[in-house]
Structure 1
Amino acid sequence: MTSKEEKMKEEIEQIKEELKRTKMESAATVATMDQTRHKISLRWLKRTSILIGIVLVIVLLFFAIFSIRSALTKEGTVTNTVSSFAEQIQQLSSLTTAKAYMKAVVEQEDNELFGRKIDANIPGTKRKTLLIIPGEVTAGVDLSKVQEDDVQIDEERNIIQLTLPKAEIIQQPSLDFSKAQVYSSEGLFRGKADIEEGYEMAELAREQVLQEAIEQGLLQSAEEQAERVIGTFFRQFGYETKIQFQSEK
């Protein structure tokens, strides 16, 4: 519970206590006068007690409304709200990611004689190797970078305007070697390629997976995911969100 909510709760409890005391005082007044035998005075005092009670209730309600309104509009409240919203946005960071599953096809050709690479294309020394391997890339919008200056709140129209960092690759491509396929076409003096040689081609495969994921719109998907998650989150509180992304530096 926020300090604002706690203060509002305290104000309401004080009002309840004041109303309770008012009722007790009114009842005590009526009971005291009931012991007298002046019926006309008793009716007048009852009416007076009721009127006093009503006036006190009105005064207390006015005081409550004024106090709550002051709590909501006092200096620093808007800043605190913006700060709170910025913190909530930062906590959504893990939900604003997008993943791409790609398959890299890497082809490599070299010449080797007696286990040593050579530059000359001597017959029987050439080998073509083909590596097919799936990979995964993760992109996201790093909401932990959102600051208070990036959040603008229009309380009258219930609109939150956000400026978010652009999506970026947050996890470098990971390759699934358990599903790797290695093919080779070799000359007389060359052996067949194996998975170990596939590992040597892994860096090329990672670069290919990353490039293809970006070309297929992975970063745009991450930004769209961020818009959906944040929009859904703040709709629960009655706010519409308008999001823009920072321009490239």
Structure 2
Amino acid sequence: MKKRLIPGFLLSFFLILLFSCGQKPAEYPADELEISVREILELPVYEQVYRDIVYIGEEEKVLFFTTTDKEVLFSVDIRIQAGIKHAEQISISLNAASESGQRTVMVNLPKSEIIFIDADESSIEQYFIKEKGEDISRLEYYDEINRKKEELVQTAIESGLLEYADLNAEKLIGSFLKLAGFETVQFRRFESEN
């Protein structure tokens, strides 16, 4: 009895395996795919963290006497994230299967943009401070950090942050759509409409 059971089980297993591999992939409507892609791309797709050194210095004199002399040197971590800012502009068009049975999809994807920039206050490390006549206010710290943020956004863009974000978005969506059964995924990039 055992000898007949094992070959029968193996034959059944291979038949199930054969027929399950040959099944046609599930059909997904374009609007459902668009919703899924939009939800995925609500997350940032690339991030860089910069550690920047900030110097604040001010000196005031009255009749050759120094009345105010304040200096501070500190470092701070600034995080910049890029991704798809306007995911609602994503559209997907499904192409008919080719003669070979390959299913293709075209994804219209806005180019990546800077979506978040933040200074981590807990990372501030002060190297020296000199306060004579007047203390350095928190507002002066924040003003200088905000000025540095603007500089670092330009540095990040020049170093390719947006291109890396575009590539990551395409990899992420391409992998998702290939899992959904599409053999060929094409991308068309465009500037987003604000």
Per the shorter chain, which TM-score range?
Answer: 0.5 to 0.7
Shift of 1:192: 7.0
Map 1:44-193 onto structure 2 (within 5 A).
81-95=29-43, 97-112=45-60, 123=66, 125-141=68-84, 142-147=86-91, 150-156=92-98, 157-171=102-116, 173-184=117-128, 186=130, 189-190=132-133, 193=136
The amino acid of 2:38's aligned partner reads Q
Shift of 1:106: 2.4
Q: If each structure's strand is expressed as a fraction of its own residues, which one has the higher value? A: 2
Per-residue CA deviation, residues 61-108 of structure 1 (Å, 9 max, x unaligned), is: xxxxxxxxxxxxxxxxx9x83223222222222355211111122223
Structure 1 length-normalised TM:
0.53
Give 2:174's aligned residue: 231
Give 1:217's aligned residue: 160
**Cα distance in 2 between the residues matched to 1:96 and 1:137:** 10
Shift of 1:170: 1.6
Matched residue count: 162
**Cα distance in 1 between the residues matched to 2:60 and 2:95:** 67
Residues 44 and 81, structure 2, Cα contact 8 Å, conserved in 1 = no
SS at match of 2:29: helix
**Cα distance in 2 between the residues matched to 1:206 and 1:161:** 36
Unaligned runs of 5+ in 2: 1-26
RMSD: 3.3
Distance change (3 Å), C-alpha of 1:211 and 1:190: farther
Unaligned runs of 5+ in 1: 1-77
Residues 110 and 192, structure 2, Cα contact 8 Å, conserved in 1 = no
Structure 2 length-normalised TM:
0.66
Q: If each structure's helix is expressed as a fraction of its own residues, which one has the higher value? A: 1
Per-residue CA deviation, residues 151-199 of structure 1 (Å, 9 max, x unaligned), is: 242422311122200101222x211112212345648x44675767433
Distance change (3 Å), C-alpha of 1:231 and 1:90: same
Identity percentage over the alignment?
20
Distance change (3 Å), C-alpha of 1:81 and 1:234: same
